Structure 1
């Protein structure tokens, strides 16, 4: 870490930490820490006023951003430079939304046209009657599609999509029970087309098609991969192979051909709007500086709590049933990206990295975990996410009650309520941020996801780590393969468990 960065951290650590109530004595606080971003699908308001950020801390974090060359690293990503240094790759998921190096944007556009042609051909009946799609992937190849499809198809879908990730056969069997082999396509989503869980599930899905009377099971498969030659070798006709660039990481890939099930379920127009919403946030992120840059400002709040207040978790509660899978998506995005213990140049990090991301859906979570948030001994910064326009057509009382509860929780966490009865005492001074969407539609969902992508990148830059590798997921998988291959010994506990489970 540079001397300037070390000095910036020291300055931040020495600052006073006033209470939220004291901070709200400033009549300009809401104006300072609340901002509205106008987007194609409707505006989103971001409110950090109930966090402990103040002018001094924000100035300190701006100094840290300068010391860590945030502007330069952001420009390097936009230019398509190699910023994933451990894997020697550029990071170009924004090019899939039309923002980035010109040649990469052109390549992404061509790949999208290829996907659009296949999606429209399927909708027009070129592959026969298609009522169902079983989308097989894991990690970034499943979490993004699952989130978008669950959020955006509540009123019906052009094709019924089932996302299967777990190698546990119960997951695939549940999808197969809901589908007719004669009218089902299989999407196999794997960047390398070698992922054990995905390829095992794919083989079983082919067996299911064959047993169901499908004469050419491979003819019902669409492959989504950065290595198309491996998909062809596996048996998929190249006309049904949808590639995506190697410079797009798995957890950033739902904008690529990994988004095929989203486009098939929604139709191409909605998928294009999904991309447009993300692109609008890209433009904001790359063109706004300092506190005006909303993902960077969110990173300031994140780092305030992990680095200056010692928090180990960050919670996200979506007060919208359509966003019930958002916390799951953010877990991978944030923890796989920034759960590191070394800097980008391989030195010990020497400070906390990413917090544990967790959450749920409101109002369910209020009756499960909010006891700890209000009265527990752990300080947990919370993000509340909601939409003003309801996603249902029932009595408006449903949505008014939902929003009232969402906004009340943030107010209650901050204000608390004193009582001489300790069991009924609420200490307050507990932080939250609110992200309030005008509506939830393809464009605003795309914008929300892109916002969190850039927030994650900004956190990584300010910590000096590489947010785009994920070697931590490999060791356990390697050991599992060695167990299945046999001839390897382990510790006595593992040996006993393997014997009792009948694995070895």
Structure 2
């Protein structure tokens, strides 16, 4: 089947994208408040059919069923993958999903008590300490709704081990009106522990014996957390082993946002994600949004040699989405070995990055249009009801224009017609080759529900992509190795132990 796909890719490679897209006009999918236009891809009906056959060959439907049944699809760590269970309505949760879903009850109850000043009277600020998924997810959620869901409680974030990051977060806030929330699944992550140590000292210095009531912990290792606290805390919230860090925003890991916006807001977010779960679980592969998007990823990245894909968020509320997706997509599928230890037959996911529209148009869009790299893009246009109409219209126009020009370019005959009299040298410099594929994700009513659906869609797209590439999307051995090596080098810096690598040793000497 793969060889047939390569034949289709070669057949279509020399064809004009504008012509292909015109033939695919109307190739759209709709679900959960999102309208997705797939027309501007180097695909035709035959290639689409072959991709769907490939999905069937890779038993994508079986994989979906296995995940939602609680099977251990995270094979290398021998775990189920249960983040979806956090989104199941409590009255519908059964079997293993029931216990996972029930873990949210104390989270929402505590959040409402803080909001109602029934505990910790006078809380004005939540300081959220975590890293990776424990930071990027809640940071995205807070940034997305901090303007439309204004409340009395502010949230600040600290994730970097650089001391300045926490110093910035603490600047101008009062320990007496602050709740510190630490998020660490293992309760051993160096960056989070370092910042928590400093935050604990900050609380103790000002609050004395009352410091512990101003600190809450979310972890899958409560014994270790209580040992660190020195008490048996009743402000300790669990995180199941089956919830990976980059999928943890649906869990107690978003406690800070639940406090900021309320449990009804969080339930709406979960409801939107659950709607996408049901779409993914029940929809035919041909109209299944995560499946179709993952197939396009495989087509572009593995078969067509796309080197980089941009996520271009034409929504200020989603300005942090590209950073969030970098971790979700690249930590999940940035691998070259299958779960049985053998090399995968072709490259997997490529570089993912992006920015906020229309800001990016004044920096890296020059490279998008006239650079020499083989790339693809996706434009996410999300508008908020009641937004200033002139600005919203301009935002939409800019997004649609960028997608159109990426595909159609600006060619010699266009230039001659629109700008007669240019010198040949200038005219050639204005040529935009076009031929670069993109997709449009459009939402006319951006809400917690539609953001929940969007994030869940990307999560499922990751899972299907892993099955297509033959990798386990739920482990991260590359990250683990980097942590271990950093620990050894830290010992060299602090204790003077020698480094085995001579280049590292030279740099350690420089900093010592």
* Equivalent residue number for residue 489 of structure 1: 499
1:344 alignment partner in structure 2: 339
Matched with 1:282 is: 277
Stretch deviating more after TM superposition (206-215 or 292-301): 206-215
Deviation at 1:11, TM superposition (A): 5.0
Question: What is the rounded CA distance, in whole Å, between the counterparts of 2:193 and 2:80 in structure 1?
Answer: 27
| CA distance in 1 between partners of 2:402 and 2:208 (Å) | 53
- Deviation of the 1:61 alpha carbon: 1.1
Distance in 2 separating the partners of 1:403 and 1:318 = 11
Q: Give a deviation string over 1:243-296, Cα, whole Å, max 9, x none.
A: 021101000010010011111111000000000000000000010122210111
The whole-number CA distance in structure 2 between the counterparts of 1:74 and 1:418 is 45
Q: TM-score, normalised by structure 2?
A: 0.92
User: How far apart, in 1, do the equivalents of 2:186 and 2:60 lie?
Assistant: 31
Q: Distance in 1 between matches of 2:241 and 2:280?
A: 23
Residue 48 of structure 1 is matched in structure 2 by 38
Q: CA deviation at 1:319?
A: 0.7
Question: Which runs of structure 2 are paired with 1:262-341 in the superposition (5 Å)?
Answer: 262-341=257-336
Which deviates more from structure 2 when the two are superposed, residues 87-96 or residues 234-243?
234-243
**Structure 1 spans left out of the alignment, 5+ residues:** none
Deviations 1:217-243 (A, max 9, x none): 222111111122222222264421110
Aligned-partner SS, 1:343: coil
Specify the alignment match of 2:111 in structure 1: 119
Match of 1:180 among 174, 180, 192: 174
CA RMSD of aligned residues (A): 1.7
Would you say 1:231 and 2:225 are equivalent positions? Answer: yes
Higher mean C-alpha deviation, range 413-422 or range 332-341: 413-422
- 1:73 is aligned to 63
Tell me which moved more, 437-446 or 275-284. Answer: 437-446
Instruction: Confirm or deny that 1:466 pairs with 2:472.
Output: yes
Aligned-partner SS, 1:71: helix
Decide whether the 8 Å contact of 2:128 with 2:156 is kept in 1: yes
SS in 1 for 2:73: strand
Q: How far is the alpha carbon of 1:10 from its aligned partner?
A: 4.8
Residues 363-374 of structure 1: matches in 2 within 5 Å? 363-374=358-369
Deviation at 1:19, TM superposition (A): 2.2
**How far apart are the structure 1 equivalents of 2:30 and 2:490?**
53
**Bigger CA drift: 222-231 or 352-361?**
222-231
In 1, the alpha carbon distance for the partners of 2:263 and 2:399 equals 33
Shift of 1:389: 3.1
Q: Does 1:261 align with 2:256?
A: yes
Give the direction of change, closer, same or farther, for the CA distance of 1:418–1:312 in structure 2 (3 Å limit). same
| 1:426-437 alignment runs, 5 A limit | 426-437=432-443
Say which is worse superposed, 377-386 or 104-113, in terms of deviation: 104-113
Secondary structure of residue in 2 paired with 1:316: strand
- In 1, Cα distance between the equivalents of 2:188 and 2:345? 35
Distance 1:8 1:214 in 2: 70
CA 1:434–1:281 in structure 2 vs 1: closer, same or farther (change >3 Å)?
A: same
The Cα of 1:132 is off from its aligned counterpart by: 0.6
Q: Does 1:166 align with 2:160?
A: yes
Residue-by-residue CA offset, 1:445-481 (whole Å, 9 max, x unaligned): 1111001001111111111110000010122211111
Pick from 407, 416, 420: which aligns with 2:409?
416
Instruction: Please tell me whether residue 20 in structure 1 is matched to residue 17 in structure 2.
Output: yes
The question of whether the paired residues in 2 share the 8 Å contact of 1:145 and 1:163 is answered with no
- Where 2:250 maps in the other structure, the secondary structure is coil
Partner of residue 407, structure 1: 400
Q: Deviations over 1:164-189 (max 9, x none)?
A: 11011111011111321101011010
Q: Do the aligned partners of 1:80 and 1:101 also contact (CA within 8 Å) in 2?
A: no
Write the distance in 1 (CA, Å) between the matches of 2:65 and 2:238.
26
Which one of the candidate residues 54, 61, 64 is aligned to 1:64? 54
1:191 aligns with 2:191: no
1:6 Cα offset (Å): 4.5
Q: Aligned partners of 1:179 and 1:439: how far apart in 2?
A: 35
2:159/2:192 contact within 8 Å kept: yes
Deviation larger for 188-197 or 345-354: 345-354
Helix, strand or coil at the partner of 1:212:
helix
8 Å CA contact 1:134–1:184 kept in 2: the answer is yes
How many residue pairs get matched?
A: 489
Distance 1:94 1:402, change over 3 A: same
Residue 150 (str. 1) matches residue 150 (str. 2)? no
Matched, 1:211 2:205: yes
Deviation at 1:52, TM superposition (A): 1.5
Residues 78-97 of structure 1, C-alpha deviation per residue, up to 9 Å, x if partnerless? 11111111111111110010
Q: 2: CA distance between counterparts of 1:342 and 1:50?
A: 32
User: With structure 1 as the length reference, what TM-score do the two structures score?
Assistant: 0.93
| Counterpart contact for 2:12–2:42, Cα < 8 Å | no
